[in-house]
Structure formats: structure tokens, C-alpha cells
Structure 1
Amino acid sequence: MQKVELVIGVIIIVAVGVSTHRDRDFDVTESMVEYLQLYQTNYEAKVKKCEDMLADFRQGFAKELSGIDLQKDLLKSRVQDAWSQLKPFEFIDSWHRQCVRNYSSVIPSTYQAGASMTECLMTANTYFNGIESSAKHICSSIKSQATHTFGNHKRSCQIGHRKSQADYNNCIKKSISSLDMDISRLWSSFHKHLDEADFSAKTRIRMAWVCAFNTLYTTSNNLGSSMRLINDCIAGQRSCGIMSCTSRCANQMRLDIRERDFKSLTIKNPFHGGNKHMGCMELRFK
């Protein structure tokens, strides 16, 4: 009788030990590993896609504006060449110096020419940060959902349903279904805001180029006009205006001409009393 009781006791102990060992080895998460991996891979792909799209958007914006940098360098080179031609004139004589001073005021320095073009770029770049902010924020939200929220759901289901495979599976499917809807909504919103950002960026790019072309046109026009006036002045074809100049011509005559005289076909002959040996005659109006 004692032997029978002993055998039964051993069997019970062994059975309890086996049961405890099985409980310890039971892992409810194993059956859903591939299911979760499928969604995780999909979410990671979405995160990479939105980050790549933002990077392409930034690179495209910078590429569209890169031509302004090139035009800036060309403009600075033209202005520098102009000043390289004009600077030596100031050391020739007072006539050359005064001609340069009279008509070079609208020619910018090399730095000013570059700064005007740079301002066009800086204005566009300043607005760009605001243009992409919404899409960038949504992409960050997708990444947060795909990593932190996804991980929290897995841990919550595992902790709350470690004893029941069915309850754990239902918890995971319900959590993933809700998360998937949130990420899909964010994904659609990301595309919407990126399209809006693209439209705004194109507008800013056009404005930057208009700004650059205006600077190019104004500077080039002033440059050409000033160089022509300076050369004409030096050649004696144009007077120095209201500012005093030292004339290269020794023969000067001041005429008292009224406004009505310019409408008359005839005026008093300013060359009366001269001769062909004078060589030149400079006329100045009183």
C-alpha cells in the first residue's frame, strides 16, 4: 500500500513539473511574428518613401534656383570688368576722372551686384522652410506611428494576454487595424500637403527668377548706359553736365541761350570770329 501511494505521489510531482515547464515555455507572440513583420515592413517602406520624396523635393527646389547663382557670378564678372576699365581713367587726367564720376554712380560695386542676386535667393529659401513644414511634420508622424506606436501595441497585447493565444491574436489584429487606418490617413494627407508645397515652391521659384532678371536687366542697362556716357564724355561728345570739368579743349565759349532759342531754326553764330585753325571749340550754356 505504501509503495502504491509513493508511485502516485511521484507521478503527481512529475505531472506538475511538466505542466509548470510548459507554462513557462508558452509564448503567445510566436504565431503572429510573420503577420507583424509584414505590417512592419510595409510601414518602414512608407517612412522611407516619404523621406525620399521630401529629399527629392528639396533637391528639386535647389536645382531650380541654382541657375541664379550662375547668373550672379556672370553679373559680378561683368561689373568687375567694367570697374577694371574705369578705374585707370581716374589716373589719366581730371577730364577723365570727372567723366567717370559724373556717370558711374548707378554702376554697383561687385559686392552690391552679388548681394542683390543673393537676396533673391535668400527670400525664396526663407519661404521654402515654411512651404515644406506641413509635409515634413506628417512624415515625422508616420515614422512615429510606424515605430513607437507599433511597438507599444505589440507590448500591450503581449502583457495583457500572455495566457491566451486567441485573446492575444485578437488584440494584435484590432490594434494593427486601427494603426493601419491612422497611417493610411496620414499617408494621404502627406501627399496632399506635398502637392500644395510643390505648387507654392514653383510660385516662389518664379518670383526668385523674376527678381533675378529684374536685377540683371537694371544692372546691365545701367552698366551699358553709363559706359556709353563716360566714353562719350571722354571723347568730348557730351559735356560734363552741371558739374565742373577741366576741358581738353582750350577754346571755350559760354552761350546765353534761352528755352525759346531751342525752338528756333536760327541762333546767333557761336563760331563768328573763329577760324579753322582753332582745332576745337567747347560750348557751354549759361
Structure 2
Amino acid sequence: MHSAVLLLLLLFCLGANGDLSTPLVSAHMEDYIAQNQRQYDAKLKNWEDELALFRKTFTSELRAINVHADQLEVKLEEAKARLNPIELIDSWHKHCVQNYSATIPLIANVRSALNGCFNTANSNLNSILTNAQNSFNSLKNFYNSNLKTLLSDCEKRNPKSQMNYTICVENVISTTNTFTQNNQKNFNNYMQQAQCTADIRTTQAWECAFNTVYSTSSSLGTAIRLIDDCIANKLACASVSCTSSCTNQMIISWKENDFLNATIKNPFYGLDSKLSCLEMKFKY
């Protein structure tokens, strides 16, 4: 009876060829595969984070353009708030404001121009990262598809030999590591190229924004100065609709008078001292 029990135990442990059988995937081999897979997952996570950081940094640098848009909007609103009441003072103030305020850019047009600078650069982001993103997708696909298939094939092709299975798995891991290293080199090169292109696009966007900011500020400043000068009668109005309220006018020719001399003919000789006003205009 005792011998029969030992025989049954022995038969249970024997394989089909009479060899002592052991689990094909041992605990050590499972740990080996799992450890490598954790490293592969970490690699993908690092690449994914690097791509995300690149996108965030690129967009953040461009979003600063919106700050300029907000600042210009404040300036234009302040100018509008100042000029609207002045226009109501009298007809002269109204003429001055209407005559020169037309050159002040509209807020909507300024924002549209600056948004165009932003959108033009930002629309290139995906194309800038195309090669790097393709490298990431290729590596991820290899891990999720090729690696799993190769490991599964090792089990199918070596169902009875622990040694052959181990060698097969080691070869699969070696192949995967080589593929990873090659893709890492490509990914690094593509990211460097992407950074160079991104720097160019960012510079172009800032130059575009600067042109809008400069032209807007210049137009606004010039218009305000001309309006102030017009109101103070320091500048002859350039519009036929902008006329003086003084009916007494005098025209003095630059050509007929030598203003380099210390004395000239008195242009006011014979004028009625009771005149309420006198407007002088100089012509060439």
C-alpha cells in the first residue's frame, strides 16, 4: 500500500516524457518580465510628460500675446472715455475729436490682429511635434503589441523546456531594449528639432504682435496729440469741415516776407483795434 502511494505521487510529478515537470513560467521569470515591463511603462510616461510639457511651454509663451491685447484694450477704452465727454463741449471740440479720432484703431480689430499672431503660430504645434509623437506612438505600439506577442510565442514554442523558454524570453527582452534605445535616440533628435522650430515660430508670433502693438500705440498717441493741439488752436485743422469761428482772417505769405531779418513789415498796420478776433494763416 505504501509503495502504491509513492508511485502515484511520482507519476503525478512526471511529465509526458518521463521528466520531472516544473511550472514553465516560474516566479523568478514572472518578476523578470514584470520588472522590464515597469521600466517600459516608465519610459512611455517620461516621453508622454516631455511631450505634454513641450506643448504647455509653447502655448504659454504665445499666450503672453493676450496680455498685450488686454493692455491695449485698456488704453483704447481710456482714450474713448476721455474723448466722448470732450466731444460734447461745443462744435469746435466736436470737430477736433471727430476729425482725428477716426485714426484710432478699434478694439475688435486690434484683438483680431493679435489673435491672428497667436493662432498662426499655435496651429503649427502638432506639425512641429509630428516626428517626436510618431516615435512615441511607435514605441507604445511595440510594447502593447509586439512585446506581448513575442512573449506569448515563447510559451507556445517551448511548452516543455524551461531552459529554452528562458532563453526565448531573454532574447525578446534584448530585442525590445534595442528597439527602445534606437527610438530614444530618434526621439531626442526629434525633440531638439522641434524646439528649434518652436523658437522660430514663437519669434515670428512676437514680431507679428509687436507690429500690432507698436502701430496701435503710435496711432493712438498721434490722434490724442492732434486732438489736443486742435482744441488748443495750435494746429490748423486739416478737414474742410473743421472751420474757425473767427470771421476775421489774415493770410501771410512765407515767400513774400523775409523772416530772417530782425524787422519786417508790420502785418497788423491799419487794423481796427476793436476786432474781437483775428485768425492768421501762413501759406508757402
Taking structure 2 as the reference length, what is the TM-score of the superposition?
Answer: 0.83
Asked if residue 57 in structure 1 is aligned to residue 54 in structure 2, the reply is: yes
Find the aligned partners of 1:60 and 1:280 in 2 and give their Cα distance: 65
Aligned AA (1:215) = T
Partner of 2:249: 253
Partner of 2:208: 211
Unaligned runs of 5+ in 1: 1-6
Asked if residue 128 in structure 1 is aligned to residue 125 in structure 2, the reply is: yes
Any idea what the Cα deviations from partners look like across 1:26-62, whole Å, max 9, x if unmatched? Answer: 4312252222123212211111111111122122223
- Aligned-residue identity in percent: 34
Find the aligned partners of 1:216 and 1:276 in 2 and give their Cα distance: 52
Any idea what the Cα deviations from partners look like across 1:56-93, whole Å, max 9, x if unmatched? Answer: 21222233233322222111100111111122233333
Root-mean-square deviation (CA, aligned residues, Å) is 3.2
Find the aligned partners of 1:143 and 1:277 in 2 and give their Cα distance: 96
Q: How does 1:227-238 map to 2 (within 5 A)?
A: 227-238=224-235
Find the aligned partners of 1:14 and 1:219 in 2 and give their Cα distance: 94
Find the aligned partners of 2:234 and 2:5 in 1 and give their Cα distance: 127
Any idea what the Cα deviations from partners look like across 1:250-286, whole Å, max 9, x if unmatched? Answer: 324374x8xxx54443599765553454343234689
Find the aligned partners of 2:22 and 2:14 in 1 and give their Cα distance: 11
Asked if residue 145 in structure 1 is aligned to residue 145 in structure 2, the reply is: no
SS where residue 44 of structure 2 aligns?
helix
SS where residue 244 of structure 1 aligns?
coil
Partner of 2:33: 36
Find the aligned partners of 1:122 and 1:194 in 2 and give their Cα distance: 22
Unaligned runs of 5+ in 2: 259-263
Q: Number of residues paired by the alignment?
A: 276
Aligned AA (1:168) = Y
Partner of 1:156: 153
Greater fraction helix: 1
Q: How does 1:258-269 map to 2 (within 5 A)?
A: 261-266=253-258
Find the aligned partners of 2:236 and 2:105 in 1 and give their Cα distance: 23
Contact 1:251–1:278, Cα closer than 8 Å, also in 2: no
Aligned AA (1:107) = I
Partner of 2:261: none
Taking structure 1 as the reference length, what is the TM-score of the superposition?
Answer: 0.83
Aligned AA (1:113) = V
